Structure 1
Amino acid sequence: MPKVKWLQSKFNGNDKYDAFPLLEVLRIYELEALEDWFEAGVAAEDGCLFPCLINLMLENCPKLKELPSLPPKLKNLEIEGIRWTTLNFCSNSNPIPLETLWVCDCPNITSLPLADEIARLAALRSLKITNCPNLISLGRYREMDITNNSSLILDYLCISHPSVLQMEPLKSIASLKKLSISDNDEVVSFPNEAEQWFLKVRSSLSQLGFIYLASLESLPSFLESLSSLQSLHIDVVPMLRELPNLPPSLKSLTIWGKCHPELKERYGEDGGSDRHKIAHVPHIHID
């Protein structure tokens, strides 16, 4: 296989490199030996690293070193199977245009400094943090951020463990439309602290999903208080036997994939003993 020259660059008026000056979308995947972004001596500072990049996807490149900073126009970042320990945002004080941040299957990640940069992350709308077992912090939430009314306003959030909801800035989230809790084999039930968090978003949360939760035995009873909830999706939650009371606002209930036989018996359309408890939901699908 012929070698591909991977560096596209030009000198600007200040004799600095612009690396990949026109590139907008970059996906790097399954390069298990890749370590460095550039050859030694190639400048990648002061906004010259991928100056026009909008979408960056990194998958299963375990040796790849961390970016020195995010590209200045980056809107969508997805990393999966990367062994970084944290994530470096831009070092300047400009707003960070990031709209989507997905971090999945990154066992070495211990911190994502979202709270540190909350004032500059006003564009962030989609956040996914799954299968990062060593994550202990989303940054430090300062009092000045609260007084400046800087808080996350997300459309979509996906997490693996409810404990992440107790980390700032998620703990003080202002608004959320869609939440998925997925890919966890350990969670059996939801802690009491989760109720206060859900009550904060009850007027904005419209879609909720519990997906691939192998040990979950019960859904939180406070679901009934989510006054804006319209869609509830349960997918591969095999230990769940019973549903809590569901809010009057609910329009769609889907129970999909492998589920406990008792759940089907109790809520099934044909003579289920608890079918009347979900009769107010217009659209019900139990697979």
Structure 2
Amino acid sequence: MEIELKYKHHMQFLSLSWNKHMKEPVNQDDRIIDNLEPNKETRQLHIHGYNGLNPPSWIENSSLIHLVSLELEYCMKWRNLPSLQVLNSLKHLKLENLFQLEYIGPVSEQQFETDESENAWLPPFLSTLNVRWCPNLKELPDIPCTLELLVIKHVQLAILPRIHHRYTGSRDSASVKSQLTFVHIESCPRLTSLNKGLLEQQEQLHFLKTLAVRHCERLHHLPTRGFTKLRHLASLEIVACPILRDVKTRDNLLPTPLKNLDVNPCGDIEASILMALQNLTALRRLTLFNCSNIEELPSVEVFGTLNNLNDVSICRCKNLMSFGGLGAAASLRTLSILCCDKISLSHSPLDGCFFKLQKLRIDRQALLSLEPLRSLGHTKDLQIGDDYAMKSLPEEWLLQNASSLNSIEIGAAKSLRSLPSEMAKLGSLQSVHIDRAPLIQSLPQLPASLSKLVIWGCDPMFLKRYERDVGEDWGKIAHIACVDIKAYSQGVLYFSSFSICHVVMVSWVVGCSIQWALLGWI
């Protein structure tokens, strides 16, 4: 029985989905879908799991004059899509999990046409193009200047698409201003250079704000002119492109409006990127992850120009030995330094620091003896994670930050034996959280300001010592509104515990942890 959808008036949304467990003859699938042509009033069309060899013949039909959104997913046998340039109203195109798709546009044109002017097979007023998991697709048609969002993931592109002047009616492509604001390129194993295609046309990318290039393992070359012509670029990610080659002109690498920079890892250009930071006065966040070619952070002269740098995160930079001139970043408020084991005192040239941190996250207490961290005096939140060798907290440093320190969080404190005897002088401290601390035997006098105390993985005898109302040292923590203490029993956390939060009834059971709280869980 034929279902003539094209005569179903007022139908604006159509979703066609095939059950993957049903095995129908291929030619039958083709006949079925050809008879499911939508009404010309349809605005959204979704085709999912179609098992035929070819797209429906009506998909390039100019009668779909109101179609705004087209999503094609899991059509596993399609090798090509026809030209979509007749879909003048289409704004959103999604191609996902089309595993056999090789090209878009007329077969003969695609294979033999060499004139670039005839590569305009996408809808002329498209706003978003999302292409994911099309591992046989080796080329994308030129994109219209109306496109605002471009996402390409797990595609075999060797060259990024270009902006096509044909969509504008102008032969002068340099005068065309693309509307692109967001570009995300990820897992394109054949992509070796950004010199050709989209980023060759930087003068036209007038509105581009976010650019991410991720997991392109064979990418060798950035654009010859860097990214300096991207006048409004605010966020740049270069992630897991490990064989990128160094650039000749470091001064022409990064655009001055840049606010967020994420480098993780990117081969020989890592050091050049750091040198190019100078005078990026708009930069707010810098992330360096797994950058093994960086041995030293930039100088005082570089960090001194980063007037808005607020957040720096450095992780797994295994050859980093020096903080360089980090202390000159006066606006810095959040700093994370993790798994950078070669940093040493002998490679910290700058004494003192100019910033007032709100949050410091490190994985080695020893870093607090290095400049610029040693000179900190206004830190609010301190996190030390997984420092198995730490036997005590740095009392002098804590007292140096006593007027501002609001919270202390210690993770995996397996060697921690005690807290500083002068803890009571930390007059702003409100929260202490210590995890996996089996060697702590007692607590010093704690500050009156403390409202939350969490100690997990302590010795059962410690737990008994601070048991509510009956423990011999209960009086030391009785003033704290919220207390959560959990003990190890034979190396297993949680076997004994108690919690209090204002008014709390506690069930003390060896072998399980049961907590009731009248005013809420801790």
> TM (normalized to structure 2)?
0.46
Q: Which residue of 1 aligns with 2:290?
A: 81
Task: Name the aligned partner's letter for residue 175 of structure 1.
Answer: H
Distance 1:109 1:272, change over 3 A: same
**Structure 1: tracts of 5 or more residues without a match:** none
Distance 1:254 1:49, change over 3 A: same
Query: How do 1:44-55 residues align onto structure 2 when only pairs under 5 Å count?
Result: 44-46=250-252, 48-55=253-260
Q: Which residue of 2 aligns with 1:177?
A: 380
In the alignment, is the contact (CA less than 8 A) between 2:453 and 2:480 conserved in 1? yes
Q: Which residue of 2 aligns with 1:112?
A: 323
SS at match of 1:199: helix
Task: Name the aligned partner's letter for residue 114 of structure 1.
Answer: G
Q: Which residue of 1 aligns with 2:441?
A: 241
Q: Deviations over 1:137-190 (max 9, x none)?
A: 473236xxx7xxx63311111222222222222222231111112221212224
Q: Which residue of 2 aligns with 1:22?
A: 232
Distance 1:65 1:16, change over 3 A: closer
Distance 1:266 1:82 in 2: 47
Q: Deviations over 1:225-254 (max 9, x none)?
A: 211111111123333333222111111112
Distance 2:264 2:455 in 1: 30
User: How far does residue 64 in structure 1 lie from its aligned partner after superposition?
Assistant: 6.3
Q: Which residue of 2 aligns with 1:165?
A: 368
**Structure 2: tracts of 5 or more residues without a match:** 1-154, 161-193, 205-223, 487-522
Task: Name the aligned partner's letter for residue 70 of structure 1.
Answer: L
1:196 to 383, 396, 402: 396
Q: Which residue of 2 aligns with 1:65?
A: 270
Distance 2:414 2:315 in 1: 18
Task: Name the aligned partner's letter for residue 98 of structure 1.
Answer: L
Query: How do 1:217-236 residues align onto structure 2 when only pairs under 5 Å count?
Result: 217-236=417-436
Structure possessing the higher relative contact order (Cα contacts under 8 Å, 6 or more residues apart): 1
Query: How do 1:115-154 residues align onto structure 2 when only pairs under 5 Å count?
Result: 118=328, 121-137=329-345, 139-141=348-350, 151-154=354-357
Identity across the alignment (%): 29
SS at match of 1:253: strand
Task: Name the aligned partner's letter for residue 430 of structure 2.
Answer: Q
User: How far does residue 16 in structure 1 lie from its aligned partner after superposition?
Assistant: 6.1
User: How far does residue 63 in structure 1 lie from its aligned partner after superposition?
Assistant: 6.9
Query: How do 1:268-279 residues align onto structure 2 when only pairs under 5 Å count?
Result: 268-269=467-468, 271-279=470-478
Q: What is the count of residue pairs matched by the alignment?
A: 267
Q: Deviations over 1:111-151 (max 9, x none)?
A: 01135x52xx1110111222221101473236xxx7xxx63
Distance 1:57 1:260, change over 3 A: farther
Comparing 89-98 with 126-135, which one deviates more in the overlay? 89-98
User: How far does residue 281 in structure 1 lie from its aligned partner after superposition?
Assistant: 0.6
Distance 2:303 2:438 in 1: 48
Distance 2:475 2:304 in 1: 56
Distance 1:267 1:27, change over 3 A: farther
User: How far does residue 103 in structure 1 lie from its aligned partner after superposition?
Assistant: 1.3
In the alignment, is the contact (CA less than 8 A) between 1:55 and 1:75 conserved in 2? yes
User: How far does residue 11 in structure 1 lie from its aligned partner after superposition?
Assistant: 5.6
Distance 2:317 2:363 in 1: 12
Distance 2:371 2:441 in 1: 33
User: How far does residue 76 in structure 1 lie from its aligned partner after superposition?
Assistant: 0.9
Distance 1:160 1:98 in 2: 22
Distance 1:199 1:126, change over 3 A: same
Comparing 198-207 with 16-25, which one deviates more in the overlay? 16-25
Task: Name the aligned partner's letter for residue 325 of structure 2.
Answer: L
Distance 2:265 2:463 in 1: 38
In the alignment, is the contact (CA less than 8 A) between 2:410 and 2:433 conserved in 1? yes
In the alignment, is the contact (CA less than 8 A) between 2:413 and 2:434 conserved in 1? no
In the alignment, is the contact (CA less than 8 A) between 2:203 and 2:230 conserved in 1? no
In the alignment, is the contact (CA less than 8 A) between 1:180 and 1:210 conserved in 2? yes
Q: Which residue of 1 aligns with 2:308?
A: 97
Larger CA Rg, structure 1 vs 2? 2
User: How far does residue 223 in structure 1 lie from its aligned partner after superposition?
Assistant: 1.4
In the alignment, is the contact (CA less than 8 A) between 1:183 and 1:212 conserved in 2? yes
Task: Name the aligned partner's letter for residue 23 of structure 1.
Answer: L
